[in-house]
Amino acid sequence: MLIHDGGGTALAYRLLGDVGRTVLGVHSPGLREGKGIVSIRHAADQYAHFARQWLDQHTPRGSRLLVGGWSLGGTIAIALAASHTDIVAGVVLLDPPPPGTAAMKSDEAEQLILSRTKLSTQIWGGHRDLVANLRAPVYLVSATEPLNRQEAKGTTLPRPGSCSEWMLSPQRANLAEKAWSDLLGKLLVHTERIPGDHFTIFTHAHAANTTRVVQQAAGALEAIAV
């Protein structure tokens, strides 16, 4: 089950090819009314209800599923896995911002500065609470390329000085991997890097490779869960 990004839609996942499994894409329930999520916890509980309904209707009793998401969707997936441990076998994080910025919406992401000084336990407090009961293994996928500063000037992105440091940093993958590793510890079982930036990993240019890595992540997590 792949959860929507900060924009509330799961449309990006339609670019994925065959990953050898049924893929459930979850939109934000309030999308039609232009409403965002109430909170990460609230969304996690809502989507866990969807997951339970699907499992009850389509799988043997006691079955579990993999959950994941791109960007904010990854943070919601982590929260779901931690609070509904009986139905989650593993978590796939698709280029989530490091802890401290994951709650931002996609249209805000470029406007917030993620300074390294903010990567602290104080900022992570909410995340630590979210993952307190997490048992499922986590597979982290990070895009390797920063957003292009020159291109950003001519698009809807704000001025370079107000862009997210993480999205613009050549060290973005290192920052994300360290932050999530510090937060998750041994539950972070693998990190994988893929070409593209935060937004282009779900475009035709990189869809095939993103598909391959999602399939690889699913296989690895299923092997652990057996």
HSE (CB half, 13 Å, CA atoms) of 152? 20
Which pLDDT value is given to residue 120?
31
What average pLDDT score do residues 42-64 get? 96
Looking at residue 128, what is its pLDDT? 72
Burial of 122 (0-12, 13-18, 19+ CB in 10 A): exposed
- What gap in Å lies between CA 197 and CA 102, rounded to an integer? 16
| CA–CA gap between residue 138 and residue 189 (Å, rounded) | 6
Residue found by looking up tokens 């993480």 in the block: 166
Q: How far apart are CA 52 and CA 24, in angstroms?
A: 12
Return all residues near 212 (Cβ < 8 A) that are at least 6 apart: none
pLDDT digit string (tens) for 98-151? Answer: 875 534 444 443 343 333 223 333 333 457 777 889 999 999 999 999 987 665
Q: Give the pLDDT confidence of 18-38 residue by residue, as tens digits.
A: 999 999 999 998 887 777 888
Residue 126: the pLDDT is 57
Domain count, the chain: 1
CATH number for the domain that contains residue 204:
3.40.50.1820
Residue 98: what pLDDT? 81
Q: Please classify residue 67 by burial: count the beta carbons closer than 10 Å to its beta carbon, then call 0-12 exposed, 13-18 middle and 19+ buried.
A: buried
The whole-angstrom distance between residue 186's C-alpha and the CA centroid of its chain comes to 18
pLDDT digits (tens, 9 = 90+) for 165-209: 777 788 889 989 998 999 999 999 999 999 999 999 999 999 999
Tell me which of 62 and 156 has the higher pLDDT.
Answer: 62
According to the model, what pLDDT value does residue 117 have? 29
What per-residue string of b and e applies to 142-181 under the rule 16 or more CB within 10 Å gives b? Answer: bbebbbeeeebeeeebeeeeebbbbbbbeebbebbbebbe
Q: What is the pLDDT of residue 90?
A: 98
Q: In what order do the strands lie in the sheet with 88-94?
A: 25-26, 2-3, 65-70, 88-94, 138-143, 188-194
76 CB-side CA count, 13 A:
30
Q: Is there a contact between 95 and 196 (Cβ–Cβ < 8 Å)?
A: no
pLDDT band at 7 (very low <50, low <70, confident <90, very high): confident
Q: Regarding predicted confidence, which is higher, 226 or 80?
A: 80
Q: Which residue has the higher pLDDT, 39 or 104?
A: 39
pLDDT at 164: 62
Least Cα distance to 48 among 11, 86, 21 occurs for: 86
- Give the residue numbers spanning the domain of 148: 2-225
Tokens standing for residue 62: 């006691």
Bigger pLDDT: 49 or 107?
Answer: 49
Tokens in use for 112?
């917030």
